[in-house]
């Protein structure tokens, strides 16, 4: 039995994990897997590379597999609410709206469509004669209408001449006629529904207070069979047909469950009469995993395929990202998909066209949730969540899993409070901090002190924000110093690479244009993707590059075919490159949390890493296309945003102060020669390799504990001998 199987993971999945050389679960896996298998919502924070993808994929695959197996083996069909031949009174899963969910007992109904009404009726009906009663209790906020309907009625109760409804707004309804009746009701209120087939009348009560007669049933409905009925709009209601004691039992009315057999009939809607009887629609997956970038979605998709390889029943999975023909993804969905992994834009397209249905979703996963929210996908997440039923057809509650770089983000906290159901927090990071294996330094660039920019023959192409400015090297205007910093950053980057003989590094730039310009500069110097100068070989990764190119560039960097990957924060989010020794920030990130996210890509698995940030000593004018209709494409408006333009003054000294305050540290400064200060990093460190013993506790546990263990063994031996001597003296006395 593998360590994963001890947590409840299936042997087939455990075997796949073992083949991936995962001998023991990581900390986040040990915490999250049992919680997800147990049915809980989980909010987790862990570093990229900590195994969090496995932490949510393993239990999801297992539960999806078990659900499919039960469905194929015929199990669970009796638990799906009720069918036409059900012996008990239940709400009928074969007679319901698209977004109406019914629990395993057939008594709890829920619809999470905020835009439309969805109804259902009971599996049985009463007819001929008698006085009958049932109760419905509102168990969540939303709009409800409850009452009685015939087989011919629309599920939208009270909108035709075959059904009678009483709504939460205090209106009774019949044939689209809504009239004031009784009083409004809301969450925790219990509504009693009365049907008198002797006098042919209908009425309701609220919390035991009976209202006057609402309707006389017309003569043409005298021989009709009447079902208990409800229609909901983003609401939830639980019913009692008399199997358990009523909260407010009425006098002289019979509970529906005790209606005489001769007055009871089964619903004509049952197995074979509705599409739902055939199981979930093929394009209604059990799990949706949303990733912020194509690369991360691809990585997660590959992991899913590895984990499920030994299962004896096929679980279909689909990658939904841009760059792949939408028609191919739609065709795959029509053939049947259980797990979907994709990016927000493509998923929104598929959902809006109903190519992908949310009616059967059991797991809703947001990976790198902080990145999704900062990219502006908060409203999309809310819309998708509202459309997913919170109780599935087989009575299972929706599980939501959120992974984030930090759980201390205000936006992530608010989203969790709004959407998740008592989530378990698994915080293996806590407030942001820098691991001991990461050495991070700052090199300040001051163009008033380093004036070499005046005589540069070749320099990196700048971003063009100063093209309309009158730049004079002899006049240190704010614009001139800003342009000078842009030129110097390229030179400082080359010095840094040369000083540390860097053979592999991520290079972060603020914008896609900056990435392109830096790649062109390396190409001018003989490097780039295919240049002869291997010291400056590089690839570029950002959102404007075509997906095949992005994928190929990432693979080339991982295989060490090039030394540098120049990228933006968004493109690189979630990408894990093992053994990475260096990270260089050409520009400080906009958000202080992203600083930790960037530099945390080195120093993993006890390997030492160095992160170097180039920080301007003066403000720098940069592009900022937040209000730009084209999001920067073809934009040349260099005015400031408060003047209707697309530029701002970027204050890197202030950003550095914010990062230091956030971390509670002062980051070491290095000079333009990039010599690293001598402190605990005392020359014994080789970046990218495991840390050698510097007296700070990096010995193996066995070696460290050996002297203490030996001493404890000696003390234990002495204690045992002393005990035996005392026992001997007590038994035989002193022999001296």
- pLDDT attached to residue 77: 46
| DSSP result, 570-628 | HHHTT---TT--EEEESS--SSHHHHHHHHTTSS-TTB-EEEEEEEESS-EEEE--TT-
Higher pLDDT, 473 or 405: 473
- pLDDT attached to residue 430: 62
First to last CA, the chain: 59
Residue 703: pLDDT band with limits 50, 70, 90 = low
Neighbours of 611 (CB within 10 A): 27
Higher pLDDT, 6 or 177: 177
- pLDDT attached to residue 528: 92
* Closest C-alpha to 275, from 357, 339, 341: 357
Q: What percent of the chain has pLDDT over 70?
A: 87
Contacts of 404 (CB under 8 A, 6+ apart): 43, 44, 45, 368, 369, 370, 412
Q: How far apart are CA 473 and CA 46, in angstroms?
A: 48
Q: Is 390 exposed, middle or buried (0-12, 13-18, 19+ CB in 10 A)?
A: middle
Q: Are strands 108-111 and 215-216 parallel, antiparallel or unpaired?
A: unpaired
In 617-710, DSSP assigns E strands to 620-623, 647-650, 668-670
Residue 392: pLDDT band with limits 50, 70, 90 = low
Please compute the mean of the pLDDT values over residues 686-700 and round it to a whole number: 51
Dihedral, CA atoms, 710, 715, 716, 718, nearest 10 degrees?
A: 130
Q: Are strands 171-174 and 177-180 parallel, antiparallel or unpaired?
A: antiparallel
Higher pLDDT, 493 or 219: 493
- pLDDT attached to residue 671: 93
- pLDDT attached to residue 689: 65
| Helices of type H across 3-51 | 11-19, 27-37
Checking if the pLDDT of 527 tops 60, the result is yes
Write out pLDDT tens, residues 61-90. Answer: 999 999 888 777 665 543 444 544 557 899
Helix (H) or strand (E) holding 505: strand 505-508
Q: Can you read off the two tokens belonging to residue 470?
A: 């009158």
Least confident segment among 153-162, 222-231, 587-596: 587-596
- pLDDT attached to residue 701: 46
Please compute the mean of the pLDDT values over residues 580-593 and round it to a whole number: 89
Q: What percent of the chain has pLDDT over 90?
A: 53
Please compute the mean of the pLDDT values over residues 703-715 and round it to a whole number: 69
- Phi-psi group of 90: left, alpha or beta (phi > 0 → left; psi -120 to 50 → alpha; rest → beta): beta
Residue 693: pLDDT band with limits 50, 70, 90 = very low
Write out pLDDT tens, residues 423-438. Answer: 888 887 666 667 778 8
Do 465 and 623 touch, CB atoms closer than 8 A?
yes
Residue 125: pLDDT band with limits 50, 70, 90 = very high
Please compute the mean of the pLDDT values over residues 8-33 and round it to a whole number: 88
Contacts of 308 (CB under 8 A, 6+ apart): 13, 16, 61, 65, 315, 317
Neighbours of 547 (CB within 10 A): 14
Checking if the pLDDT of 261 tops 90, the result is yes
Neighbours of 609 (CB within 10 A): 24
Write out pLDDT tens, residues 494-524. Answer: 999 999 999 999 999 999 999 999 999 999 9
Write out pLDDT tens, residues 647-660. Answer: 999 999 999 999 99
Angle 60-62-64 (CA atoms, 0-180°, nearest 5)? 65
Least confident segment among 138-152, 311-325, 449-463, 601-615: 601-615
Q: Which residue has the tokens 């506790």?
A: 697
Contacts of 479 (CB under 8 A, 6+ apart): 466, 469, 471, 621
Checking if the pLDDT of 696 tops 50, the result is no
Residue 240: pLDDT band with limits 50, 70, 90 = very high
Please compute the mean of the pLDDT values over residues 255-274 and round it to a whole number: 80
Mean pLDDT of the chain: 86
Q: How far apart are CA 94 and CA 55, in angstroms?
A: 36
Do 136 and 91 touch, CB atoms closer than 8 A?
no
Do 424 and 43 touch, CB atoms closer than 8 A?
yes
State which of 113-122, 224-233, 375-384 shows the largest mean pLDDT: 224-233
pTM higher than the cut 0.75: no
Q: Are strands 287-290 and 339-342 parallel, antiparallel or unpaired?
A: parallel
Residue 387: pLDDT band with limits 50, 70, 90 = confident
- pLDDT attached to residue 313: 82
Question: Mapped to the 3 state alphabet, what secondary structure does 107-139 carry?
Answer: CEEEECCCCCCEEEEECEEECCCCEEEEEEEEE
- pLDDT attached to residue 332: 93
Checking if the pLDDT of 683 tops 50, the result is no
294-307 and 11-19 helices, crossing angle to 10°: 120
Higher pLDDT, 335 or 374: 335
Checking if the pLDDT of 681 tops 50, the result is no
Residue 129: pLDDT band with limits 50, 70, 90 = very high
Residue 395: pLDDT band with limits 50, 70, 90 = low
- pLDDT attached to residue 438: 86
* Closest C-alpha to 200, from 263, 123, 132: 132
Least confident segment among 170-179, 234-243, 275-284, 365-374: 275-284
- pLDDT attached to residue 7: 82
Contacts of 608 (CB under 8 A, 6+ apart): 437, 438, 439, 581, 602, 685, 686, 687, 688, 689, 690, 691
Checking if the pLDDT of 144 tops 80, the result is yes
- pLDDT attached to residue 189: 97
Please compute the mean of the pLDDT values over residues 118-133 and round it to a whole number: 95
Q: Can you read off the two tokens belonging to residue 242?
A: 């008399």
């Amino acid at each position: 039995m593998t360590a994963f199987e001890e947590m409840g993971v299936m042997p087939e999945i455990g075997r796949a994990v073992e083949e991936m050389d995962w001998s023991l679960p990581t900390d986040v896996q040990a915490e999250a897997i049992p919680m997800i298998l147990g049915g809980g919502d989980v909010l987790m924070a862990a570093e990229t590379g900590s195994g969090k993808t496995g932490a949510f994929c393993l239990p999801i695959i297992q539960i999806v597999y078990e659900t499919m197996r039960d469905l194929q083996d015929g199990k669970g069909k009796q638990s799906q609410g009720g069918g036409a031949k059900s012996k008990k009174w239940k709400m009928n899963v074969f007679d319901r709206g698209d977004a109406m969910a019914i629990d395993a007992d057939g008594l709890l109904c829920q619809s999470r469509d905020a835009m439309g009404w969805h109804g259902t009726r009971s599996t049985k009906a009463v007819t001929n004669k008698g006085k009958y009663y049932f109760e419905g209790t509102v168990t969540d906020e939303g709009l409800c209408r409850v009452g009685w309907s015939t087989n011919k009625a629309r599920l939208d109760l009270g909108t035709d001449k075959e059904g009678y409804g009483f709504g939460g707004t205090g209106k009774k309804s019949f044939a689209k006629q809504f009239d004031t009746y009784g009083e409004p009701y809301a969450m925790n209120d219990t509504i009693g529904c009365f049907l008198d087939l002797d006098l042919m009348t209908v009425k309701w009560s609220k919390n035991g207070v009976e209202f006057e007669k609402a309707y006389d049933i017309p003569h043409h409905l005298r021989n009709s069979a009447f079902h208990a009925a409800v229609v909901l709009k983003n609401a939830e209601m639980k019913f009692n047909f008399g199997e358990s004691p009523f909260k407010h039992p009425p006098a002289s009315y019979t509970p529906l469950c005790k209606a005489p057999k001769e007055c009871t009939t089964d619903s004509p809607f049952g197995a074979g009469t509705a599409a739902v009887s055939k199981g979930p629609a093929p394009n209604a997956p059990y799990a949706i995993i949303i990733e912020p970038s194509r690369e991360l979605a691809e990585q997660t998709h590959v992991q899913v395929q590895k984990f499920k390889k030994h299962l004896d029943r096929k679980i279909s999975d689909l990658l939904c990202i841009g760059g792949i023909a939408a028609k191919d993804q739609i065709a795959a969905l029509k053939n049947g998909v259980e797990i979907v992994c994709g990016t927000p834009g493509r998923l929104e397209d598929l959902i809006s066209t109903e190519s992908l249905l949310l009616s059967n979703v059991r797991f809703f996963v947001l990976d790198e949730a902080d990145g999704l929210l900062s990219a502006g996908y908060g409203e999309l997440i809310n819309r998708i969540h509202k459309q997913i039923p919170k109780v599935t057809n087989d009575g299972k509650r929706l599980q939501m899993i959120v992974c984030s770089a930090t759980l201390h983000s205000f936006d992530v906290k608010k989203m969790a409070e709004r959407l998740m159901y008592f989530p378990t927090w698994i915080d293996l990071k806590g407030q942001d901090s820098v691991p001991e294996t990461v050495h991070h330094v700052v090199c300040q660039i001051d163009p008033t002190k380093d004036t070499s920019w005046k005589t540069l023959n070749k320099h990196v192409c700048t971003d063009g924000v100063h093209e309309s400015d009158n730049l004079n090297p002899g006049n240190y205007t704010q614009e001139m110093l800003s342009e000078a910093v842009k030129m110097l950053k390229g030179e400082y980057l080359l010095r840094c690479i040369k000083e540390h003989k860097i053979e592999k590094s991520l290079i972060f730039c603020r914008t896609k244009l900056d990435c392109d310009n830096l790649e062109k500069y390396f190409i001018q110097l003989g490097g780039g993707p295919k240049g002869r100068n291997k010291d400056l070989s590089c690839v570029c990764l950002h959102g404007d590059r075509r997906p095949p190119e992005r994928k190929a560039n990432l693979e080339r960097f991982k295989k060490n075919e090039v030394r540098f990957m120049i990228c933006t924060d968004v493109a690189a989010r979630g990408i894990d490159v093992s053994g990475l020794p260096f990270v260089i920030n050409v520009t400080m990130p906009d958000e202080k949390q992203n600083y930790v996210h960037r530099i945390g890509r080195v120093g993993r698995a006890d390997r030492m890493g160095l992160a170097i940030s180039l920080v301007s000593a003066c403000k720098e004018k940069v592009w900022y296309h937040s209000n730009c209709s084209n999001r920067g494409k073809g934009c040349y408006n260099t005015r400031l945003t408060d003047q209707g333009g697309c530029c701002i003054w970027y204050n890197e000294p202030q950003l550095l102060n914010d990062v230091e305050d956030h971390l509670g540290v002062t980051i070491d400064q290095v000079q333009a020669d990039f010599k690293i200060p001598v402190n605990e990093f005392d020359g014994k460190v080789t970046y990218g390799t495991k840390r050698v013993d510097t007296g700070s506790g990096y010995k193996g546990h066995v070696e460290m504990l050996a002297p203490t263990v030996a001493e404890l063994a000696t003390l234990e031996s002495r204690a045992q001998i002393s005990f035996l001597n005392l026992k001997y003296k007590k038994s035989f006395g002193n022999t001296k």
